[in-house]
A and B are shown apart, each in its own frame.
Chain A
Amino acid sequence: MQCQRCGERPAVIQLTTIVDNTHTEQHLCEACAAQQGIQTEASLAKFPVGDLLGSLSKGAATQLPTAEATTRCPSCGATLQDFRETGRLGCARCYETFEAPLRTLLRRVHGASRHMGEPYVSPGGDGAAAARGPAVAPPELSALREQLQRAVEAENFELAARLRDEIRGRN
């Protein structure tokens, strides 16, 4: 069967659409299907999801509030505008300088902003290291609220109730 759109290439995809109880069926070739925004094997292979992730971080950078755009990192001199353009931060200190917008970005990208992995203690465990500190229990209130939000979104109400009680207990 030929593609019903271009009439040239062989149809390899059967597209079924139901709008207002009207059922239509189309037979399309790979190219025409891709043009209609349908992901096929070929189009998937050509656009690895890794690219999406890359563009997501850049895209997210462009959504950051503009008021912060003129602040410079005191350590490396980078601005949020630089980050917007390159998708890369300038130094470790940038994470403190732009902490609030980065927290939003990290949540968007990873679904969380709190490190749950191995804690780290700098060599010698000096003052700076102690201030940065390893991620240790008990979790902060903001982390609990975040978990609560996630639990509600996931409709895990049992966990949500437990978290709500814990937050109340702390207040």
Chain B
Amino acid sequence: MTLDLDLLPDGGVPWLDASGPEGHVVLSTRIRLARNLRDAPFPPRASDAERAQVRDTVEAAVRGTEELAGGVTVHVDELTRLERQLLHERHLISRDLAGLGPGSAVRGGAALVTAGATGVMINEEDHVRLQVVKSGFAPAAAYADLERTDRQLGACIPFAFHREFGYLTSCPTNAGTGLRASVLIHLPGLVLTKEIAKVLQGLTQVGLTFRGLYGEGSEVVGNLFQLSNQTTLGKSEEELLDHLGKIVRQVIDYERQAREVLLRNAPTVIADKVWRAYGLLRYARSLSFEETMNLLSGVRLGAGLNLIGDVGVYTLNKLLVFTQPAHVARRAERGLTDPDLPAIRAEFVRQLLDEDARRKPRGGASPSEA
């Protein structure tokens, strides 16, 4: 099986269009539900034959749902490592399903069905991991879509459900609702004003947790944080989402205030930071992934503060996805460890920024004014 990501509806990343609410601070809202079949062993304990059977059952059921009926099905275990990493970089599959984690390998029966904003991972840690990703800050809209698909799927295949504990999951930390909502949020203001540690610590005290760009166990790069609910049991779906929503709104407010403080107290420093980041991205001849992420963060801040009009948030979102290692390697038809990748990445960034600058009228303080 060869994977052509262009065949995926919207490349599997419709949220990149930055059309959602609070798009300058919140990139995306993702909600997932963990579900298991009542009568099959959980994927980590199942044999490959049992996993294949689960895959067939879930795939057939998924075709009966409204959202996923016309979806693309990918058997992850039949892909090359590069292709698996591509799907992971697009946030369509987890590191575990892709078999990319340390000491882990992709297992038989690992599959993905995806259509627009909705997707389902089959045979991850749980049989079914249903997810919806929306642009910007949109938990209610994401959950509405998700709930419909969950109901249709659950009416077709019997899920494991306990009278007291609710939906049963492979790891007890997901039991109950099986719901994890994460908001991918850009917090450069709080990082620059050194308020971030306080905010993150506060989050953990109110039952939220934060992760890096790639979810559990990943480091924070480019000032991007994923904020999500820590517990899944003892509260209703609405309560969990409502609580997360309230706290995220507060974090958005803190970030806004931090940006205002920066702009008021150190306008030149901020403008310089933003334009330097832009200048490097626009003209550098070699860029590592991490440097690119950090520079993109600077430019994104500038776009949010209207300091820079040469580049749109859509382009910044596209760069965030398409400059990742597997994407650059795939584009240039090179291997993942090819020494020319930083140069190829820089060329791609220049090209996209160039196109954007030509399309967009100059706004804010242009380099000649700054």
Contact = CB atoms under 8 A, between A and B. Distances in A.
Nearest to B196: A41
24 contacts: A41-B191, A44-B201, A45-B220, A48-B210, A48-B211, A48-B217, A50-B210, A50-B215, A50-B217, A53-B230, A88-B45, A88-B171, A92-B38, A92-B162, A110-B231, A113-B164, A113-B234, A115-B166, A116-B176, A116-B236, A120-B167, A122-B154, A123-B156, A129-B158
Given A92-B36, A132-B163, A135-B163, A53 B168 contact: no
B194 A132 contact: no
B36 A95 contact: no
B159 interface: yes
A92 B172 contact: no
Contacts of B147: 118
B79 interface: no
Interface string A115-147: 111101011000011001111000000000000
B170 A89 contact: yes
Contacts of B44: 86, 88
Contacts of A51: 216-217
Contacts of B162: 92, 95-96, 115, 132
A153 to B, nearest CB: 14
B67 interface: no
Interface stretch (A2-10, A20-28, A101-109, A162-170): A101-109
Contacts of A128: 38, 158
B355 interface: no
A111 B176 CA distance: 12
A53 to B, nearest CB: 6
Contacts of B158: 122-123, 128-129
A89 B234 CA distance: 20
Contacts of B170: 88-89
Residue of A57, A120, A134 with most chain B CB atoms under a 10 A cut-off: A120
B70 interface: no
Interface of A: 39-41, 44-46, 48-51, 53-54, 56-57, 75-76, 78, 86-92, 95-96, 102-103, 105-106, 109-118, 120, 122-123, 128-129, 132-135
Contacts of B218: 48
A90 B41 contact: yes
B129 to A, nearest CB: 14
B154 to A, nearest CB: 6
Contact of A41 (B39, B164, B166, B194): B194
Interface in B196-255: 196-197, 200-201, 204, 209-212, 215-220, 230-237, 239
Interface string B9-44: 000000000000000000000000000101111101
Contact of A110 (B45, B154, B212, B233): B233
Contacts of A41: 191, 194, 196-197
A6 to B, nearest CB: 21
Interface of B is mostly: loop
B348 interface: no
A57 B230 contact: no
A135 B40 contact: no
Interface string B162-196: 11111110111101110100000000000100101
Residue of B147, B157, B166, B197 with most chain A CB atoms under a 10 A cut-off: B166
A13 B158 CA distance: 55
B161 interface: yes
A102 B42 CA distance: 17
A44 B197 contact: yes
B125 interface: yes
Contact of A118 (B173, B212, B236): B236
Contacts of A54: 173, 216-217
Given A41-B194, A48-B210, A106-B172, A120 B231 contact: no
Given A115-B165, A132-B162, A91 B234 contact: no
B332 interface: no
Contact of A109 (B39, B173, B194, B200): B173
Nearest to A12: B194
